[in-house]
Structure 1
Amino acid sequence: MNKLKINTWTGIFDIVACLLFASSWFVIFATAFSDAANKTNATSGAGIFFYAVAWIGVVLNAIALWQSYKHNISLVGGILGVIGCVCFGLTALLAFPAIILLIIAVVFLFLQHPRKKENVA
């Protein structure tokens, strides 16, 4: 069985997304305090960046999911990746569950096991 490059690249993207999501609260709070001190408005730009990363992750994981389906590879990594990125994409309050889901997704995306056959009775 050939390994899909889209799964490998999606796994790498998910690792980067985990690091970004882990730092997002610190960046957004630091930007908010800076905005309050300097009477500027950079917080929305910082938030938009993190949300953009999350929604790019949704699209990338969905493509990996579809390619895995077409090539008879386990769908677990793609499904968990989509769910994790959607969690953060909806609200940054779900950063911790998103990070956990993405870490598990990365493992399955890199493994690329064949899907189990269904038993039809």
Structure 2
Amino acid sequence: MKLKINMWTAIFDIVNCILFVVSWFVIAGTAVMDATSGTNATGGTGLFFYIMAWIGVALNIWALVASKKNNISIVGPVLGIIGSAMFGVTAAMAFPALVVLIIATVFTFLQRPAKGTQQSN
């Protein structure tokens, strides 16, 4: 059984991977522009990336619960929670979070049956 929540969560994790890659450049660029223009947009820019990370945590928790109920492996959602939370705590963890999310996306898309369960057709 393939769950749509897992598919959408994996897609969102891919989007977050792209956002996490560009986040450092966007935040650094905004900080430089703030310093030269005297504005303060860096906080709002960083907040966007943090909100996206915590939405990822929530979606992965939802996928974890749904996978558990349907006897689907929970490796992907667990890694997705870890990866999203790593960035959600600090943007300095963007690279490790990116690696964990890529692995999480693969496992979430696979949707293998959990160990010890029989797959019915």
| TM-score normalised per structure 2 | 0.95
Runs of at least 5 residues in structure 2 that lack an aligned partner in the other structure:
none
In the alignment, which residue of structure 1 is the partner of 2:103? 104
In the alignment, which residue of structure 1 is the partner of 2:41? 42
Distance in 1 between the 2:82 and 2:109 partners?
Answer: 17
Matched, 1:117 2:116: yes
What does 1:25-104 correspond to in 2, within 5 Å? Answer: 25-104=24-103
Residue 87 of structure 1 aligns to which amino acid in structure 2? Answer: M
The 4+ residue runs of structure 1 with deviation greater than 4 A are none
Distance in 1 between the 2:83 and 2:105 partners?
Answer: 11
Residue 95 of structure 1 aligns to which amino acid in structure 2? Answer: A
In the alignment, which residue of structure 2 is the partner of 1:15? 14
| TM-score normalised per structure 1 | 0.95
Task: Please give the per-residue CA displacement for 1:29-84, whole angstroms capped at 9, x wherever unaligned.
Answer: 00000000100000001000000000000000000001000000000000000000
Matched-pair identity in %: 62
Q: Report how many aligned residue pairs link the two structures.
A: 117
Distance in 2 between the 1:109 and 1:117 partners?
Answer: 18
